[in-house]
Homo-oligomer: A and B are copies of this chain.
């Protein structure tokens, strides 16, 4: 407990080794993680949390690197969380990408962490959230969260950022398919990356058309920004669009609503986890639980009645 307290202090002082330790604790589902997060929680709430979403091949990581360098040039400390398993940050990289990232890895004002997407069943969004909190508490000004953004759990990750960039590249018909599949609703800013390729303007037009079909944006009309991340072109425009979106969030009350959503998700996750930990192996002994599973497996019982019988032993 004293140790944990010391670790929490070291985190809020931004010591890199403490950061690594804290994140490992969170990722390993260590029971002490919850207490650590509780301790650092008051120090959170200052970071700008930006999501970068798009298909493999859209150049997300290069864009993340360009944004990171942009913010570093402005004296801001930058945290990078790569949830995308194909990201160079995650090790799914080709050599050229890795070299492009080297500069960031040796910069002490940058902290990079990749999240395995496997092994977090039911909890990727929570784990990502927790790491965002740790970086936030450690005083990082900007936290960039890179994700493929397809699939429900990843959409949940996206829901927890403040501004989400959806990255597309010219001539990717499948991307437009992916947009149909729900990515359209999650874009606060659209980025047409690799905009030096033929068809960039056509892609802009396609996005505009798709956008006119979506009615969920409220008062915010997502801007479309063209970039060539590998040459750091368009990054100033992109930063301006991100800043404008933040003003919108703050003025419209949407920021408070999103933050409140995050709080709700976290408390409920904690409630469910705490409940399961107390019930299985507590209220119902573990072997009794396993034989209950067998009963359901062999049709002597059904999942509903089995669960109800356990819930019946708890006094609410």
Q: Are A38 and B305 in contact (CB under 8 A)?
A: yes
- List CB contacts (< 8 Å) of A292-316 with chain B: 292-294, 296-297, 299, 302-308, 310-311, 314-316
Give the nearest-CB partner of A272 in chain B. Answer: B272
Give the nearest-CB partner of A40 in chain B. Answer: B302
Q: Are B152 and A150 in contact (CB under 8 A)?
A: no
Binary contact track A154-186/B, C-beta < 8 Å → 1, others 0: 111000000000000000011001101110000
Decide yes or no whether A198 CB sits under 8 A from chain B.
no
Q: Are A56 and B174 in contact (CB under 8 A)?
A: yes
Q: Are A314 and B311 in contact (CB under 8 A)?
A: no
Q: Are B297 and A263 in contact (CB under 8 A)?
A: yes
Which of A68-76, A106-114, A277-285 faces chain B?
Answer: A277-285
**Chain A, interface SS category:** helix
- List CB contacts (< 8 Å) of A252-275 with chain B: 256, 259-260, 263-264, 266-268, 270-272, 274-275
Give the nearest-CB partner of A130 in chain B. Answer: B303
Tally chain A residues at the interface, Cβ within 8 Å.
72
- List CB contacts (< 8 Å) of A41-80 with chain B: 41-42, 44-45, 55-57
Q: Are B92 and A180 in contact (CB under 8 A)?
A: yes
Decide yes or no whether A124 CB sits under 8 A from chain B.
yes
Contact status of A270 and B304, CB under 8 A, knowing A57-B173, A181-B56: yes
Tell me, rounded to whole Å, the shortest Cβ–Cβ distance linking A83 to chain B.
Answer: 10
Q: Are A267 and B56 in contact (CB under 8 A)?
A: no
Q: Are A296 and B267 in contact (CB under 8 A)?
A: yes
Binary contact track A27-45/B, C-beta < 8 Å → 1, others 0: 0000000110110011011
Q: Are B152 and A293 in contact (CB under 8 A)?
A: no
Q: A12 to B151, alpha carbons, bound, how many Å?
A: 33
Which of A115-123, A202-210, A233-241 faces chain B?
Answer: A115-123
Chain B residues whose C-beta falls within 8 Å of the C-beta of A311 in the assembled complex = 271, 274-275, 278
Chain B CB within 10 A, most for which of A148, A294, A297:
A297
Decide yes or no whether A97 CB sits under 8 A from chain B.
no
Decide yes or no whether A88 CB sits under 8 A from chain B.
no
Chain B residues whose C-beta falls within 8 Å of the C-beta of A85 in the assembled complex = 180-182
Chain B residues whose C-beta falls within 8 Å of the C-beta of A266 in the assembled complex = 296, 303
Decide yes or no whether A153 CB sits under 8 A from chain B.
yes
Contact status of A279 and B283, CB under 8 A, knowing A152-B153, A263-B297, A303-B41: no
Q: Are A307 and B274 in contact (CB under 8 A)?
A: yes
Q: A99 to B263, alpha carbons, bound, how many Å?
A: 47
Decide yes or no whether A230 CB sits under 8 A from chain B.
no
Decide yes or no whether A250 CB sits under 8 A from chain B.
no
16 contacts between A and B (CB under 8 A): A38-B304, A45-B299, A84-B181, A85-B182, A121-B156, A148-B151, A148-B181, A259-B297, A260-B294, A267-B306, A271-B276, A272-B272, A274-B307, A275-B314, A314-B314, A314-B316
